[in-house]
Each structure stands twice: as structure tokens, then as C-alpha cells.
Structure 1
Amino acid sequence: MIGIQRKIWTLTALIMFIMASIWIMLTYYNQKTQDQYNDILQRYLHMNEVTASSRQTVNSLNIYLLTPTEGNLSSLKRNEQLLREARSSVALLRNEENDFALTSYMNLIDSLLEATDRSVMFQSERENEDSSKAFAEATRISRYISEMTLQLIDIELNTYERFYRSIIEQAEELKKLGIWILLSITFGLLLFAYWFSLSITRPVEQLTKAAQELAKGKFERQIVVNSSDEIYFLATTFERMRVSINNLIVEMQEKARLESELQKSRLLLQESQLRSLQSQINPHFLFNILDTLSKKSFLEGAEETSDLLVSVAGLLRYNLKRLDRAVTLHDEVRVMRQYMEIQSARFTDRLRLVTEIDERCLSVQMPGLTLQPIVENAVIHAIEPSESGGTITVAITDEGDRVAVEIADDGPGMDEDKIRGILEEREMQPEGHSTGIGFGNVVRRLRLFYGVTDVIDVENRPGGGVRVVLKLPKTRRSDTYDKTADRG
């Protein structure tokens, strides 16, 4: 990860590197030009050194001839040595332009040294006239050397004239190059500064937009910041805060939904109780009358009437006491059979009940008054309108973690919109139901009781009639129903 401080140091280092590169380049070209100038100057100085050394040698020779002492002789030897060293330096200046002139120049130096040596030799042999002639020759050669030096310098000037002009042209080109380099560096630094500023400001803008979205209450959108510095950590922390707030809002909405469902359930139970109370005028008085009528019928030998009254009394007692409590499937089957006994007395052989019940499944718990409203719906809509009556089939089977309760009739069937209304829990008017509880009420209480939605299927049978399948879990996932019943 590259932090903001490191980015700033990188920009600073880049600028310093560019400045150092420019300084090194300019220093290199300047030093190169200066070395070329020094080389030319050294050539002129070496040639002038030959002229000066030749003159000093002639003067030392003259002094020695006038005063032949050991000191003057030593001074002459030193000047001769200096002249030889100057000759060696000049020999290194040879090129194609001055090859012939330099060869003559070096021969003159050699001739001067020979003339000087002859003059000293003749002086030591007391041959003054020959010594004077050798001195005159040395003097003449020294003048030739001076003239030849001027000629060589002139040749050098002509030779390096092109060099001077090339130096001037290089200086102009270097100036242009410097301008282009300056413009290129300026443009490059501007681009780098723009990219560098974007790498800092763009994540900040993204974070600002995300904060504005959060301020508007939009907590669903994920905060994404393309950065690799400290702003990334800030955005990550901001994202965690958004997720926490969003989860809290979802949790609050879920709680509100559950509270709303609980409220609806309380109202549903209260409404069911009120409808049930409409038929409960003095229930104990009604039970006592039914019991009296049952005993009287039995004493008079009307056993069927007595059994019917017992069924009616049991059915009413069950409806009044078990509306808001969990019961077993066994209780529901027993009450369903009591209801069918009452209806059989009404419809006689027009109503037929077929049961296929697995007794091992009857211990599963379920909300009270579930089977009777469904069977009653089949009686009202499938049996009662038909002159020939019909058959209601009740089958209870074990399907692993669930118990399947299938209630089917052979009536005309049900409208598809009505089926959708039942499954969508839209309240249906309980047309002629003894309990005052409609089909939609049954579906809502089943889903509330088990805490799942997939507990019922309603469909038309291919050959006619309606098939209702209850899929009752053996274990409950929710205790909301019991809490609602307790509050009710």
C-alpha cells in the first residue's frame, strides 16, 4: 500500500532526480567544451614555450661566451634541457594539417641545439672565431624558430576555425535542446501532478458521494473507493458502519413486521372469538339443555337422537374451549368425525365419508378448529348443492418430517381466483360456517402456528372436486402463535 506521505516523497524525489539529471547533463557538455578549449590553448602554450626556451638558450649562450664560468655553463645546460622538453611536447601536436611544418620546426630546434653545442665546444678549445660563427648561427635559427612558431599558430587557427564554429553551433543547439527539455519536463511534471492529485482527490470524491447517499438514507449501496492509501482504510471503516446501520434498519423493519403480524394475529383471534361468542348465548345453559335432551332421548329409546345431541354438545364445547390453544391431530380428527355425524343426520345417504388415517401421526400438534372449517367448506360447496350428494375423503399419512392431511371432495371444484385468494390469505366470508371461521383464517393460523408458509396446497382435481393438502411439520419453528394467544 502506498500512503499519501509516500506519494509526496515520490513526487519530490522525481523532481530532484530530474533537476540533478539536467545539472549533470549541462555540466558534462560544459566540461567537454572547456576541455576542448584547454587542449587548443595548451597547443599554443607549448609552441610559445619553444620560442621562449630558444631565446633563453641563445641568451644563456651569449652570457657564457662573454663570461665562460661553470655557473653560466650550468644555466645554459638547464635552458637546453627546457628546450628539449618543449620539443617533446610539440612533437605530440602533430596532425595532418601541420605535419610538414612541424617536422621543419623540430629540425630547427635540433639545429639550434647543435649550434649551441658547437659554440660551447669551440669556446672550450679557444677557437673564438668558430665559436662566434656558431653563436651567430644559433641566433639566426632562434629567429627562424620564432617565425615558424607564428606560422604553426596560424595553421592551428585555420585548422580549429571549424571547431570554433562547431562549438558555436553546439551552443545554439544546446540552447534549443534546453528549451525543449524544459518544456518536456514541465509537461511531464504537470501530467504527473495531475495524476498524483487525482489519486488523492478521486477517492475523497467517491467517499463524499457515498456519504451523501448515506445522508439521503440509501444504505443498500456498497461503498467502493479505488485507492491504496489511508483513504482506503477510511472507506473500509465507513463501509463497515454502513453495513451495521443497514443491518440495524433491516432488523428494525423485521421487528416492525413481526409486531404487525402479531397485531394482526391478535385482531384475528379477537375477531374469531367475537364471532364465536355470537353463538354462545349462555353456553352453560345450552350445554345443560343439550345434556337433558340427550338423556331424555335415550330414556325414550331414541338412541340416534341421543348420540346426535352428544356430538352437538361435544362440538360446541370444543369450539368454545380450544379456539386459541394448540391441540393434537387426534383431537381435530375426533371433532371432525363428530361434525360429520351431525351432517350425516342431516344429509343421510347423500353424504359419504371415507377415511384413511395412520394412527401414528395423530400426536402432531396443530391449531384448533383447522380440519372442521375445511370439511365444512366441502360440505357447503360440494355436497349441499348436489341432489345426489357426494363423498369426502380424509387421508392422513406420514411423510418423514411432516404429516400430510389430505381432504378431497368430488364436487364441482373451485374458481382459480378463489384458490389464489385462499393461499394469499385474503379473508373469505364464512358462508354458512358453524364456527364463523373462514378458509383464509385457517391458512393464516396454520402459517402463524408453524412459522413457515409452505403448509397448505389447494387445487382442483382432474376428475372434479377440490383437493386440500395440509403439510404439518412434526416440529414447530415458531412460538408466536402461543405468545399471541397468551396476550389475547
Structure 2
Amino acid sequence: MNGIQRKILTMSAIVLFIMVTIWVVLTYYNQKTQEQYNDILQRYLRMNEVTDRSHQTIIALNDYLQKPSSFKLDTLNQSKESVVLAKLQTSNLRNKDNAFTLTNYIHMIDSLVEAADLSVMFHGQNNGEQSAEKFEEATRIEKYIAETTITLIDKEVRTYDTFYRGIIEQSTELKRLGLWLLSLITIILLLFTYWFSLSITRPIHKLTIAARELSRGRFDKPIEIHSNDEISFLAKTFDRMRVNINNLISEIQQKAQLESELQQSKLLLKESQLRSLQSQINPHFLFNTLDTLSKKAYLEGSEETSDLIANVAGLLRYNLRQLDRAVSLHDELSIILKYTEIQSARFTDRLRFVHEVDEGCLQLQLPCLTLQPIIENAVIHAVEPLEEGGTISLRIYAEEERVMIEIEDDGAGMSEEKIRHILTESGSSEGAGHSTGIGFSNVVKRLRLFVGADDVIDIESAPNCGTKVTIKIPKERRFGGYA
């Protein structure tokens, strides 16, 4: 057993012995007094209970006589039963001082019950006069019972007057004993506390000085504390910590450097992936566009051709910007309009593009090249294969906490398996058709990274029923993968 523990256990044993002794003595006297007091109190309560139940019986009898009913009769019977029960309990209170009075008291209770029964009986026989007389008799008996109860309680008080005085004297003695014991315990605790604190605070003070030196960066000063308890062990442990702290600092620095290098590697990998996506511009799309420009220039040579070339230049410039940057919905809409003008020149009346835009939503941020790949898929699958062409609708509107972007076409649609493949495939360009190469699945992946949640895009489609893509972007983004 070590030093501090031995001191604490010794003091605890002394205090515990004193407290147990005090508790045993006080419990004995308190239990004895409590039993006597409870006995007297029960006598008073039983007598008072007879008065209360007698009064309740008179009330129940009066209610029944005023307006008879089976419920009121049951209440009256219960009241009479409670009076009889109280009588049986009162019979145990007999002593030499109240024997005669208590006997009359019990007889009055019996008379009360009998008068109540007779009153009910006469009332049932439609003999109102006799019933009223018995009710008055029961009322007088109830008053006698109340007066007799007061008389019995008065005799009880005089009988136990000596006991009450003894309780007061005993309480005074117990208070005096408690003060002496409290003083003795206080003195013992003060002496022990001084000795105990002195044996601990001195080594702790030295240990505090050593800790202050360590906080200032002085790891060369040894820690020496001589005592026969746990503080000495603590000082030795503290000294070993001083020896090892330089090694710990070196390890932390090495880990920080490794983490920095790892983070840089992740950033380089992400940049490489984005550049790989950026370089996937489909040559087929460029070929079709340039072919259209060539034919328009040959046939017209007009301003429309110039506008078309400008739109192509703007589209290519937008497609070559960094994909890890967020852009406004206004920019995305602008490039969509350029794209549809180019495709309208290619498909003429076969492409019908309808858009409905809430101007208040155009400052919303979203990943670059989000809408164009979806529109391209709609052109490829809803317009290009069909001789009569198709219609593509773009709708942008706001809800309570999100901005909704709906892109819908009346093309051939797609199967549930294809929809599931697009929403679960990560990073694949499959399903892009002859688009710019930023596949539909890549759009889904970048949207989820941007918003920081999976519930960001829905696809509704069925074979020969068209396709509807709904993008849901929160107005206030809490986290995400873009600046």
C-alpha cells in the first residue's frame, strides 16, 4: 500500500468509525422515540377518522333521502362500512383512563349506523315522517360522536403529557451531544488536513516549477523529487516525458510533412483527372458543326453565318475553361442558347427549343458544363434519329430552399436499367453519344461533389415516352467540391 493511499484510508477509517457510532446512537434514540410518537399519533388519527367517516355517512344519507338513486345508496353503504371499520380500529385504543368513555363511543357508532339503516328503510316504505326522525337522530348521534372524539383526544393529550416533555428534553440532549461531536470531528479533520496537505503540497510545488520550465522549452533540467508516495513516481514519469518529448516533436514534424505531400499528390491527381475530362472534346461534333458552317457560308455568306461562327467560338471557348470552377446559371444558360442556335442551323425546323426561366435564379452557382451535355444527349437521342425532329424544353424555377432545373425531350426515352447505369456509374463517358465528351454520368458525379449530397438529380423516362431530367441545387450550399 502506497503512502497517500495509506493516509487517506487511515483518515477515512477514523471518520467512518465516528460517523457510524453517531449514526447508531442517534438511530436508536430516534427509532425509539418515533415508535412511541407514531403510536400516539395513530390513536389521534383513528379517533379523528371516526368523526370524519360519521360526517360522511350523514352527508351520504342526506343525499340519498333528497334524491334516491342506486349510486347514492352504494355511496351510503360504503360510508357505513367505513364507519364500522373505524369502530373496530378504535376498540384497540382502550386503556384505564378512557375505558368508560370509549365504550359509550363505540355504542354511539353502532347507534349511528342503526339510525341510518332505519331512515333508509322508512324512506323505502314511503314513511317520510319516520325517515326524517331517524335522520335527525343520526345527525344528533354524529354530533355526539364529534364531541366525544374531542373529549377522548383531550384525555389522550393529558395522559401523554409526560412523554411529550421527555421528547423535548431528549431532543435538547441530542443537540448538545451533536455539538460536542461536531467540534471533536472538526478538530480531528483540521489536524489531519494540515498534516496531509503539507506532505503533498511541497512535492507538488516542486513539480509545478519543473512543469513551468518545460513549458518554456527547457528540456535539459532534470526533475528530482524525494518522497515516499505516488508524487515521487509522478515526478519520475514526468522526467521520462521530458526525455522523450524531443523525439515526439520530430515525429509530429515528419507526419506533418508526409500529410502535406499526400495532400499535394491528391490535388495533382484531381487536376489530372479534370484535365483528362477537359480534353475529351468529341471530333464528330466539331466535324458536324464545321460542315454546317461550310454549307451556310457557301449558300449565303450572310450575317447569320457570322453569328453562327461566333457562337461556335464562344462554345469552344466555354468548353475549354477549367472544369473545377463554379459558374453562374446565367453563364450556363448563355452557352446553352449558343449551342441551340448552332444546332438549329444544322437541323433547321427539326429542332424546337423552348425555355422558361425565372430571372431571379440566374445567379445560382453550379459546376461548369452541367447543362450542355444533357442538352446534347437530348439532341442526339430526341432530334437527330427522327425525321420529324423533336422538341427540347428547359425550365428553371425556384422552390423554398432549392432551384429546380428541368430538361425534357419527346424522344425515344430510355429504360430503367439505363437510368440506373447513368446515376450509379462514376466517371464514365458512356451514354454521351456524340456529345462534347463530358458524359452524362460525369455530370452526375460533378453535381454530387459540388452539392455534397446524392439527391441532386432525377431522371424520369420510359421507352417511347421521352425523357425528363430534373436537377435540384440548394440555394445555400453548406459544403461541396468546388470553390
Q: What TM-score, normalized by structure 1, do the two folds share?
A: 0.41
TM-score normalised per structure 2:
0.41
Q: Who wins on radius of gyration, i.e. which is larger?
A: 1
